[in-house]
Amino acid sequence: MELVLDPLKCIECGACELACGYHWDRALSPVTSSIMVYRAREKKNYFGLILKQPEHLVLGRPEGIETQRIGAVTEGREADASAKPIMLREACDLCEGFDQGPLCVLFCPTAAITAA
């Protein structure tokens, strides 16, 4: 099973971050979440999702999904500063130990995150 992001359905509510934080800490805190909503300062109303997997970051932006290998440097391109906070967090384990499956999927009100 893997998580599938659809950033065009995301409404920036943060329910996925809270649900994931609950998985890690048993508290409604987005600080330890493996997924986060990010906002771009350059564009008004531009936001997306970042999911930390064991070896990759999945960046869900309005223009599409991009996967970046953790630690890889793309030549001629600066690292996205909005991704830096998630690098300190645990990688998604699909809510291992929860019978209901990934909590972010259960609590996303718009199905911007699904499991496949």
pLDDT (tens, 9 = 90+) of the chain, 116 residues, equals 899 999 999 999 999 999 999 999 999 888 899 999 987 766 777 888 999 999 999 999 888 999 989 877 555 454 555 566 788 899 999 999 889 899 999 999 999 999 98
The domain spans of the chain are 3-115
pTM here is 0.83
Q: What is the pLDDT of residue 73?
A: 56
What's the pLDDT at 115?
A: 94
Which pair of structure tokens corresponds to residue 13? 């509510």
pLDDT at 76: 47
Distances (CA, A) of 66 to 7, 29, 32, 82: 11, 26, 22, 14
User: Which pLDDT does position 87 carry in this prediction?
Assistant: 85
The span from the CA of 24 to the CA of 29, in Å, is 9
